[in-house]
Amino acid sequence: MDRAALFDVDGTLVDTNHLHVVTWWEAFRQAGHEVPMHAVHRAIGLGSDDLVAHLLGDERDKDQDAALSAAHKALYGQYFERLPALPKAGELLRRLHGDGWTVVLATSASGAELGALRRAIGADDAIEDTASAEDVEQGKPAAEPVEHALELAGVPASRAVFVGDTVWDMRAGSKAGVRCVGLLCGGIPRADLEEAGAEAVYADPADLLDRLDGSAFG
């Protein structure tokens, strides 16, 4: 029976979380909102609409939401051609593909942003499919992104492992019934990832690759 290796992208395979923090912070600042960077960091991993709602609350002027997302997108887009992959991210995906795992990305990114992330990883030959923000109605921490990735892989939750770097990833994977592995390279503490559902936590893709045989992929 096939097995699926599901991966978040930002902060998991590509070192972008702090770029998102700075560009969201600037987008909020330009719109007159003072949002601390540490609060933005904890919200990274949510889709744009959910991130704005999480940080500004239900009493915000919702007519600003689209402009805030557009400002962040424009600011972040300046980095598209120099996004850095995390150590051995591409090698990890190729190893899993070679070992018979169906590799599917589950990300809130889409369009040109997703293309830039995939270029940074440089492992399109190992990636079977992508569940992006455009494919689901609800983003993480809802289960839908992971469930859609499972559909694309054609496997049940019991035959899949989901790797991510945020509590939103771990909660989404847990709700979908898959085994969850956390990475520290997104900047979220080990204890938070474990509390949210990670059965094991590694430093980054290189650390997971080095210890793959003893991991959930072993």
Q: How much is the pTM? A: 0.96
**pLDDT per residue as tens digits for the range 44-79:** 999 999 999 999 999 999 999 999 999 999 999 999
Over residues 115-130, the mean pLDDT reads 98
**211 burial level (CB within 10 Å; 0-12, 13-18, 19+):** middle
Share of the chain above pLDDT 70, in %: 100
136 band by pLDDT with thresholds 50, 70 and 90? confident
User: pLDDT per residue over 182-204, tens digit each?
Assistant: 999 999 999 999 999 999 999 99
Helical ranges in the chain per DSSP H: 17-30, 37-43, 48-56, 65-77, 89-98, 111-121, 144-153, 167-176, 190-196, 205-210
